[in-house]
Amino acid sequence: MKSPRNQVESSTVGEEQTKLVRVSLSAYTLVEYTEVIEVPVDATEDILDKLVRDRYAAVDGGEFQLAPDYWGKGGCRWTEAEPGAEPQLRLVPEPDSPDDYWLEPVVSDCDASLPPEPA
């Protein structure tokens, strides 16, 4: 007997069997705090390194802002979608290249009954 985790909800599109998978993407973002501090021209690297450590300990986390230039890839994975999940996209294999594909939007029954949006 299959466990519920291994049971796949599948359907048929045209002649082809399909199943739903959930693609989960995560990214790491960075928050930063920046300030300009006037220091003596002859301040040593040791003093400046200590200044950085002291400021990090003193600045409240609420003062940090999202750093717009930083975006790191996090964990990305696919899993079988839960029963009843509604797809947003459909993978369409490229006929002449089995490893290539494109994605097309899936029109749900609800979307099909809505009037088209004005241009």
pLDDT digits (tens, 9 = 90+) for 75-84: 999 999 999 9
Chain Cα centroid distance, residue 75: 9
Cα separation, 91 vs 106, in Å, equals: 10
Give the pLDDT confidence of 1-56 residue by residue, as tens digits: 333 333 444 565 556 789 999 999 999 999 999 999 999 999 999 999 999 999 99
| pTM metric for this prediction | 0.57
Provide the 8-state DSSP code for 73: E
CA proximity to 91, closest of 23, 9, 4: 23
Helix segments in 1-119, DSSP class H: 45-58, 109-112
Amino acid letter, 105: P
Is the pLDDT at 102 greater than 70, yes or no?
Answer: yes
